[in-house]
Amino acid sequence: VTTLVSRLPPSSTYFSLEFFPPKTQAGFTNLQARLARMTTAFRPLFVTVTWGAGGSTATKSLELAEICQRQLGVPTVLHLTCTNMNQKLIDEALEECQSVGIRNILALRGDPPREEYKDVLPDPGSKADGEEFVWAVDLVKHIRRKYGDYFCIGVAGYPEGHADESHPEAGKQNVEHDLPYLAEKTKAGADFIMTQLTYDVKAYRNYEERLRNYIDDETKKKLFKDIPIIPGLMPIQSYQIIRRITKLSHAKIPDDISARIEAVKNDDEEVKKVGVDIISELVEQIRGMPQPDGLPRGLHFYTLNLEKSVAFILERCKLLPTTSESEASSSDDSDVAVEG
Ligand code: FAD
């Protein structure tokens, strides 16, 4: 990722697209066709493939990532979670990545099953019996120790804070609390930060500013001065989905945005249309924020494996490659979820 970014003109904007592996074979086949269309027409700088916590989607995630990297030829970032995963499973995934030419990993903790998590609570820094990884930083350290610089590593950031059970005030979100741990991940070898989805541009602006100016206690350096920070944006696919996702991710919907969605909530097509307006406005606001000298602006779209809204947003924001505009607008109309 960082090599790709470094080759772009400094004032450019790039974007990435996230996909998850469908559960059924039919879903997988549908997604493959859609992926081919989307990557050809939209030309994302890279795509990312999610990973089910505990390795629940390991085979399918690796299969999908390989399709993206090898068949479609799009640089691919594999998400990899480490909690409830032993080192053997992690290394199998990383070796598989090496064998298919995947050089980018988004190193995550994942959300442990609740019961197990409770064991970690009394002393969040310690590992439960037999567990080799507790925090994302453990995975970053492992990758660097064992694989040197082969992988470019991304880590998660939370513009509105992370609601964690291990937080001193359990479940509360707090950017302040997270920053030293984000610093640990960066010092351990993370190359870029990809953020939780947000609809709150003010919160995002503050977060980015705070990171850029953050001085690490130990090194006394501005650790995040010029590292790529890529904001996560999720197109609004339906009223139900946005309600569910924002609840799960603890992302707030600012009042003005909420009012616009509420006003059309009974009309799915209108929700999508207003959603395109909202996300396009967010994109423009984020593009207007200052960037470190020479660093292109990145955007990450959580696609939910859907095509149309992203296409409209990219078109509206003039982020589509000019030669492929016609292909993008001829994307299939139905845009139904490809999950089986
Ligand atoms: P960490 O960086 O380990 O942090 C987790 C929490 O613990 C934070 O609150 C942090 O402040 C705190 N913390 C960290 N280290 C310590 C310490 N030493 N002592 C005390 N507290 C500490 N989940 C999936 O299962 N699959 C995915 O594919 C996936 N993709 C994601 C993509 C993005 C861009 C993002 C933002 C999240 C994704 N997640 C995914 C969700 C993620 O796994 C959860 O949010 C998880 O709860 C935290 O992961 P993390 O990597 O941020 O953890």
Catalytic: which of 18, 66, 96, 307?
18
237 CA from centroid of ligand 1 (Å): 25
C-alpha span between 260 and 251 (Å, rounded) = 17
DSSP structure class, residue 128:
P
Beta partners for residue 154, in sequence order:
106, 192
What pLDDT sits at residue 117? 43
Question: Smallest Cα–Cα separation from 139: which of 55, 218, 46?
Answer: 55
C-alpha span between 180 and 174 (Å, rounded) = 12
ipTM confidence score:
0.99
| CB of residue 50 inside a 6 A radius of ligand 1 | yes
* Tokens (6 digits) for 39: 């990557």
| CB of residue 16 inside a 6 A radius of ligand 1 | no
Q: Is the pTM of this model over 0.90?
A: yes
Condensed to tens digits (0 to 9), the pLDDT of residues 56-84 reads: 999 999 999 999 999 999 999 999 999 88
92 CA from centroid of ligand 1 (Å): 21
Condensed to tens digits (0 to 9), the pLDDT of residues 73-112 reads: 999 999 999 988 889 999 999 999 999 999 999 999 998 6
pLDDT band at 119 (very low <50, low <70, confident <90, very high): very low
Do residues 66 and 100 lie in contact, with contact meaning Cβ atoms separated by under 8 Å? yes
Q: How many residues does the chain have?
A: 340
> Looking at residues 212-230, what average pLDDT do you find?
96
Condensed to tens digits (0 to 9), the pLDDT of residues 237-262 reads: 999 999 999 888 889 999 999 999 99
CA 56 vs CA 23, 83, 111: distances in Å = 11, 12, 12
Question: Which residue type does 266 have?
Answer: N
Condensed to tens digits (0 to 9), the pLDDT of residues 274-290 reads: 999 999 999 999 999 99
- Write the CB contacts of 3 (distance below 8 Å, at least 6 apart in sequence): 152
| CB of residue 125 inside a 6 A radius of ligand 1 | yes
Active-site residue flag, 18: yes
Higher pLDDT, 332 or 216: 216
- Write the CB contacts of 145 (distance below 8 Å, at least 6 apart in sequence): none
Do residues 80 and 108 lie in contact, with contact meaning Cβ atoms separated by under 8 Å? yes
Q: Which atom of ligand 1 is nearest to the CA of 155?
A: 51
